[in-house]
Amino acid sequence: MKRYPGILLIWLLIPLCWASAAEGPTINMDLYQIVSGMESEAGTRDWQYALSGTALVSFTSPSSGNVRGDIALDFSFPTEAITLKRAYMRIRFPSFRLTMGKTRLGWGSGALFNSGDVIFGSTDTQVALTDTELRTTTAWLTAVNLPLGTFSFIEAVVLPHQTFALEDTALGGRFYTTVGNLKLEAGCISKVDNGRLYSPYISLQGNIGPDWYLSSSVDLPVSENPLTAAKESLDISFGLFHMVRIGIDQTLSLRLESLIRPFQSWTDQFSALANYGLLFYAEASFVPDNTLTYLLRSEISPIDQSAALMAGVSWKVFQDFSLNSYLVGNIGDSDDLFPWKGQLGAMVGASWVY
Amino acid sequence: MKRRMVFILIAWVCIAQLPVFALTAEEIIGKIDDIQTFSTSVSSGEISAKDRFGVKSSTFKAWTRGTSDSLIEFTSLAEKGQKVLRTKNELYLFYPDAQELIRLQGAALRQSMLGTDISYEDMTGEKDTLAQYTAVLAGQETLGTHTCHVVVLTAKTRSVAYPMQKLWIDTQSYVVWKSQYSTQSGRLLKELEVLETQEISGRLLSRKTKISDKTRKDTETTLTITSLEIDIALDPRIFSLENLTW
C-alpha cells in the first residue's frame, strides 16, 4: 500500500506536464440551495436547509497533435472533499491508440441500466437523478484501441487491483463493429472479486422507429460451477430511445430502459436491499427552445411497486450560465427499494462554466 | 423600311431577354443546389443566439464529404470536444468527459444543431431541394441592390420542417439573399437573410446569415462561417470512430 502515493504522484505529474500547455483550465461550478423534509418517528416533519455544490476544474490539452490529455479535480461543498476525477494521457500511433491514467471506457449501451458495462457496473440504482450524466465512475487503467475499419475496432484494457497484486490484475477486451444497420459489440473482462471471475458480455443496437439497445452479461467464477453462477449473475438490459420534433424547433426525447435479472427475485422481498428481477428507468426531456429544458426521470421497481422520481427545469440564461431547479422524492413503503420515509427534496441553483 | 427596323429591334430585344425568362423555377433551384454542393469541405464557424438576456455563442469546426458524411467538433467552452459524426443512416455522438460514444439512428438524424435552425443535413454536401419541394417562379423583385428571382417552394412530403418557402435568388450570382419559411396556411415562421458573402473557388457563398424567429419577440440566430475550404483532399479517416473518439 505504501507504493500507492508514489504511483499516484507520478500519474498526476505526467498530465500536469502538458497541463502547462493547456488552453487554460475550465471550471464547471454547480451550487444549490437544498430544502429537504423528512418525517420523524414521532410523525412530525423535520425540515432542513443546506447549501451544496461541486466545482470540476479541468485542464485539457489542446485538441491538436498526436498526444492529448486531461486532468480534472472535483471539489465538493460543504464537505470540502477533493477527488481526482480524471487524469489521463492518450497517444495516437499510426496503427493504434494508447490511453493511460484515470478515465472511463464506455462499454455497452444504456443511460442508467447497461449490462454491457462489465468494467464499472451499471446495474445498481444508487445514482443521483439530478446529475446530467448518471454514470461517471472512472478508474486507473491502460487501454489499447486498434481500429479495424471506419466503424470497427478492438480494445484491450488492463486495470490494476486495489492491492496492486500482479495476480489480481484485471484484463479485458472488446470488439466493436456494425453489421448493416446493427451495432454489434462483444467482450469479456477477467477480474478478481472474491476470487477470479470472467464476465463476458454482448451489446446490440438498432432502430425500429425508436432506437433500441440490448446488452447482456454474466459472471463466471473460476472456482464455482459456471452454470449455477451464470444463472445467478445473468442480467439483461434493454432500452428504447426516440426523439420527436414538435412544431418547428421543439424537441421531445423519450427513453425507457429495463433491467431484467431472470434468476433474481420476482416477488416482493420487503427489503430496501432486495435484488429484484425487473427494474425500469424512464426519462422524458422537452426542449421548447435553445434556452429551456424540462426533464422528468424515474427509477421504477414494479415488483415492490416503488419508484424514485425527479422533475427538473433548466434555463440557460446567459452564456454558459444556467439556473436549475429540481424536485426529488420516492414513492414506496419503508421496506421497498425506493422508500418514501416522508422524504422530499427541492433543489434550486445555478451552473456556470468558465 | 423604318417599320421593319423597329420590328427587328424589338425582336432582338426579345431574343436578348430570352435566356433570363427561359429559366424555369426548377433550373434556378438546380443552380443553387449545384453551387452549394461540394465533394468535401472544411469549415469553422460560430452560432450566436440573441435574446433579451444577451448573446449566447457556440463555435465549431466541421468537415463534410459527399452527400451524407459530416463531422462536427464543438470548440466553445461549455461543449468543448463534443463531436457529432453523421453518416447516411447513423449519428454518432461523443462526449469526452464521460468518454461516451452514443450511436443514434432514425429521427435523430433530422435534429437541429444546438437547438438552432441549422440541421445536420444542412451541414452535409449535396442538396436536393427538388426532391422535397415543388418550385414555382413568382417573378422578379429588387432586394436592396440585388435583382432577384422570387421562387416559391411547396413541400411534397410532410417530413420537411417547413411546408412553404419563399426565396429571393440573385439573378446573377444565385445567392439566396432572403428566405421566408411559412406554414401551409402561409403564417410566417422564420426569415433568413444573408448579411455577408464570400467567394470560394469561383462560387459566391454566404458568410454571415441572420435567422429571425417570427414566432418569438427579440430573438435571432446568426451563423457565421469564419473559414471555408471546399473540394479539397480530406483524409478518409476523419469520418471514422477512431477520429470521433480521439
Q: What are the tens digits of pLDDT across the range B11-21? A: 444 444 444 45
> How far is A93 from B242, CA to CA, in rounded Å?
12
How big is the CA angle at A177 (ends A176 and A180), to the nearest 5 degrees?
A: 155
Where are the alpha helices (H) located in chain A, listed in sequence order?
3-19, 226-233
Cell digits of residue B198: 464570400
Select the residue from A248, A250, A351 to test the B interface by mutation, using most B Cβ atoms within 10 A. Answer: A248
Residue A40 touches chain B, beta carbons under 8 Å: no
DSSP state of B209: E
Query: What is the average pLDDT across B56-70?
Result: 88
> How far is A285 from A8, CA to CA, in rounded Å?
40
For residues A104 and B97, the answer to whether their CB atoms sit within 8 Å is no
Q: Find out whether the peptide bond into A78 is cis, omega within 30 degrees of 0.
A: yes
Select the residue from B74, B77, B92, B190 to test the A interface by mutation, using most A Cβ atoms within 10 A. Answer: B77
A218-241 in b/e form (b: 16+ CB < 10 A) is bbbbeeeeeeebbeebbbbbbbeb
* B-proximal residues of A, 59-98, CB under 8 Å: 60, 63, 68, 70, 72, 86, 90, 92, 97
Q: In the beta sheet, which residues pair with residue A272?
A: none
Residue A297 touches chain B, beta carbons under 8 Å: no
Residue A132 touches chain B, beta carbons under 8 Å: no
Report the amino acid identity of residue B240.
S
Find the closest chain B residue to A57 by CA distance: B97
Q: How do residues A184-240 score in pLDDT, each as one tens digit?
A: 999 999 999 888 999 999 999 999 989 999 999 999 998 878 788 888 899 999 999
Between chains, do A60 and B90 touch, taking CB under 8 Å as contact? no
Written as one string, the DSSP assignment of B162-193 is -SEEEEEEETTT--EEEEEEE-TT--EEEEEE
Q: Residues A158, A161, A162, A165: is their CA dihedral positive or negative?
A: negative
Q: What is the ipTM of this complex?
A: 0.83
Query: What is the average pLDDT across B160-176?
Result: 90
Which pLDDT score is estimated for B184? 86
Q: How do residues A279-300 score in pLDDT, each as one tens digit?
A: 999 999 999 887 899 999 999 9
Between chains, do B106 and A211 touch, taking CB under 8 Å as contact? yes
Longest dimension (CA), chain B: 86
Between chains, do A133 and B246 touch, taking CB under 8 Å as contact? no
Which pLDDT score is estimated for B201? 86
> How far is B20 from B139, CA to CA, in rounded Å?
11
Between chains, do B242 and A97 touch, taking CB under 8 Å as contact? yes
**Assign residue B54 a region: left if phi > 0, alpha if psi is -120 to 50, beta otherwise?**
left
Out of A43-47, B40-44, B199-203, least confident range: A43-47
> How far is B37 from B224, CA to CA, in rounded Å?
19
For residues A172 and A202, the answer to whether their CB atoms sit within 8 Å is no
Query: What is the average pLDDT across A5-16?
Result: 42
Q: How do residues A157-174 score in pLDDT, each as one tens digit?
A: 999 998 999 999 999 999
How big is the CA angle at A179 (ends A173 and A185), to the nearest 5 degrees?
A: 20
Residue B89 touches chain A, beta carbons under 8 Å: yes
Q: How far is A187 from chain B (nearest CA, A)?
A: 16
- Residue B110, pLDDT > 70, answer no
- Residue A3, pLDDT > 60, answer no
Residue ranges of domains in chain B, CATH in brackets? 20-244 (2.50.20.10)
Q: How do residues A322-350 score in pLDDT, each as one tens digit?
A: 999 999 999 988 889 998 876 788 999 99
pTM: 0.84
Where are the alpha helices (H) located in A183-277, listed in sequence order?
226-233
Tell me if residue B154 falls in helix, strand or coil.
Answer: strand
Between chains, do A353 and B56 touch, taking CB under 8 Å as contact? no
Q: Whole-number mean pLDDT of chain A?
A: 89
Which pLDDT score is estimated for A2? 39
A112-123 in b/e form (b: 16+ CB < 10 A) is bbbbbbbbeebb
Which pLDDT score is estimated for B15? 43
For residue B199, how many other CB atoms are within 10 A of its CB?
10
Cell digits of residue A13: 505529474
By Cβ distance, the residue of B51, B107, B114 closest to A242 is B107
> How far is B156 from B131, CA to CA, in rounded Å?
8
Find the closest chain B residue to A86 by CA distance: B97
Convert A15-80 into a string of H (helix), E (strand) and C (coil). HHHHHCCCCCCEEEEEEEEEEEEEECCCCCEEEEEEEEEEEEEEEECCCCCCEEEEEEEEEEECCC
Query: What is the average pLDDT across B5-10?
Result: 50
| Inter-chain Cβ pairs, chain A and chain B, closer than 8 A | 120
Which pLDDT score is estimated for A16? 46
Out of A101-105, B7-11, B145-149, least confident range: B7-11
Between chains, do B80 and A145 touch, taking CB under 8 Å as contact? no
Binned at pLDDT 50, 70 and 90, residue A22 comes out as low
